[in-house]
Amino acid sequence: MGKTDRKRPVKKAAPKVPAKAASEGRGDARVTAHLKNGAPKAPSKPSRKNSNRQSSIILPEGYRPSENEPFMNDRQKVYFRNKLIAWKEEIIRQNRETLQVLHEDSAQHADLADRATSETDRALELRARDRQRKLIAKIDAALARIEEGTYGYCEETGEPIGLKRLDARPIATLSLEAQERHERREKVFRED
């Protein structure tokens, strides 16, 4: 076989991007998947490259998200991720201390009043720990939403939740208006 007999790989032209998809800023990969499969492809999870880029961002000391910057940009995501992780670590530290105190305080009390007080304190501590366990699950869910790119947007309406609300309650999943509607509905059902 001579040099002229070898087959050269033929480059196929990329499919044309429909005007609507191009104006929406979608890349060729989504359009190609749409054209091949006949159905829109769900957005994929952010790559490790994206999460590495976010983790390599160093926030200036005293940084606070502001309304003047684009909503949920990389700096804001890093800020909220750091805030959530610090909160989770603080809860875990408090839980360890509580467990240690409960183990040390498991002595038998001779007086019935002392025993009753100790049991009541223990029950309150265990209830608080259970609430903190549920809070950790919510923090983990918020961290997952940051990775998915859905953090900061209302689950009900899709609108931005708002930086002040997120700063006050970083695990919020509903905008203030949606939360108020939810609480009104809950109140109506409770009264029935």
Check: CATH 2.40.30.10 for 69-191?
Answer: no
Break the chain into its structural domains and give their ranges.
69-191
Check residue 3 and report its DSSP letter: G
State pLDDT tens for residues 78-101. Answer: 999 999 999 999 999 998 888 887
Contact 161, 175 (CB under 8 A): yes
What is the rounded CA–CA span in Å between residue 86 and residue 5?
65
Check residue 69 and report its DSSP letter: S
Query: Average pLDDT for residues 47-64, to the nearest whole number?
Result: 68
Give percent above pLDDT 70 in the chain. 67
Task: Check whether 30 has a pLDDT greater than 50.
Answer: no
Task: Check whether 75 has a pLDDT greater than 90.
Answer: yes
State pLDDT tens for residues 140-190. Answer: 999 999 999 999 999 999 999 999 999 999 999 999 999 999 999 988 776
Task: Check whether 44 has a pLDDT greater than 50.
Answer: no
- At 168 the pLDDT is 95
The CA distances from residue 108 to 22, 27, 112, 113, in Å, are: 73, 68, 10, 12
- At 31 the pLDDT is 32
What average pLDDT does the structure give for the chain? 75
Q: Please tell me the pTM assigned to this model.
A: 0.64
- At 112 the pLDDT is 80
Single-letter residue type at 191: E
Query: Average pLDDT for residues 11-19, to the nearest whole number?
Result: 39
- Give 129's pLDDT tier (boundaries 50, 70, 90): confident
Residue 27, number of CB atoms within 10 A of its CB: 10
Helix (H, G, I), strand (E, B) or coil at 40: coil
What is the rounded CA–CA span in Å between residue 151 and residue 83?
13
Task: Check whether 34 has a pLDDT greater than 80.
Answer: no
The CA distances from residue 125 to 78, 88, 90, in Å, are: 33, 18, 16
